[in-house]
Amino acid sequence: MKGKKALIMVDLQNDFCKGGHLAVPGGDEVIAIANELQTHFDLVVATQDWHPHDHMSFAENHPGYSVGDVTTVDGLKQVLWPNHCEQDTNGASFHPELKTEHITKIFHKGVDKKIDSYSAFFDNAHRRSTGLGEYLQAENIQDVYVMGLATDYCVKYTSLDALHLKFAVYVIEDACRGVELNTGDIVKAKQEMLAAGAHLIHSSEILKGTS
């Protein structure tokens, strides 16, 4: 039987787009691509970064620290961010132009104040599953296609975890944008994903086929 394909749309939320609290350069440019891609898959899922106000990834919750600083939380390296994607705020909502009618399930991550979660599958210490891996396995998905924000954080860790879970992983390069906190982070992230076994593809390779 031919493998079933899922599209994972990572964090297409207002706070990562223009005017958002953690705007990723060009973030909103991927929304139109996401809309075009959705009908080409057996299954479409989406993630939302979904933090409580007192989340430990927010610089504001670490007196004396600033955005971009790196510290340790509960033994794990943590980059400190501006407050973003606070649960039930407009910043955490999907971009208003994103089509949502094809999404079969939404996975929230970063909900525990004490630990961040860049991957759509597990928190950063792999302590708790979001349920995404189990869901895709139950749906007999073999190939996962990852797109969204941000290339060097949530897209990267989602892709690496998908590979660990033995999915074939395709990262749709032109449908991702990165934070690039440090110059070269996006290139490095792509190299890491490639080295781990992901395929980097262009959306046209999917769109040229029939839906």
- The residues of the shown chain that bind Zn ion, judged by CB under 5 A, are 49, 110
Q: Which is nearer to Zn ion, 178 or 206 (CB)?
A: 178
Please confirm, yes or no, whether 85 is among the known catalytic residues: no
Site for ligand VGL in 37-56 (CB under 6 A): 49
Residue span binding ligand VGL (CB under 6 A) among the ranges 27-35, 92-100, 149-157, 185-193 = 149-157
Count of residues in contact with ligand VGL, rule CB under 6 A: 9
Longest CA span, the chain: 57
Q: Which of 146, 154, 169, 193 binds ligand VGL (CB under 6 A)?
A: 154
Shortest reach from residue 62's CB to ligand VGL, in Å = 15
Token digits of residue 36: 């075009």
State the SS3 of the chain.
Answer: CCCEEEEEEECCEHHHCCCCCCCCCCHHHHHHHHHHHHHHCCEEEEEEECECCCCCCEHHHCCCCCCCCEEEECCEEEECECCCCECCCHHHCECCCCCCCCEEEEEEECCCCCCCCCCCCECCCCCCECCHHHHHHHCCEEEEEEEEECHHHHHHHHHHHHHHCCCEEEEEEEEEECCCCCCCHHHHHHHHHHHHCCEEECHHHHHCCCC
Residue 176 sits in the site that holds ligand VGL (CB under 6 A): no
Please confirm, yes or no, whether 17 is among the known catalytic residues: no
Burial 153-166, CB ≥16 within 10 A → b, else e? bbbbbbbbbbbbbe
Using Cβ positions, the residue closest to Zn ion within the complex turns out to be 49
Shortest reach from residue 137's CB to Zn ion, in Å = 26
Residue 150 sits in the site that holds ligand VGL (CB under 6 A): yes
Residue 161 sits in the site that holds ligand VGL (CB under 6 A): no
Please confirm, yes or no, whether 154 is among the known catalytic residues: yes
List 5, 11, 116, 176, catalytic entry:
11
Site for ligand VGL in 73-112 (CB under 6 A): 81
Q: Which is nearer to ligand VGL, 45 or 150 (CB)?
A: 150
Catalogue the active-site residues. 11, 109, 154
Residues that bind ligand VGL (CB under 6 A): 11, 16, 49, 81, 118, 149-150, 153-154
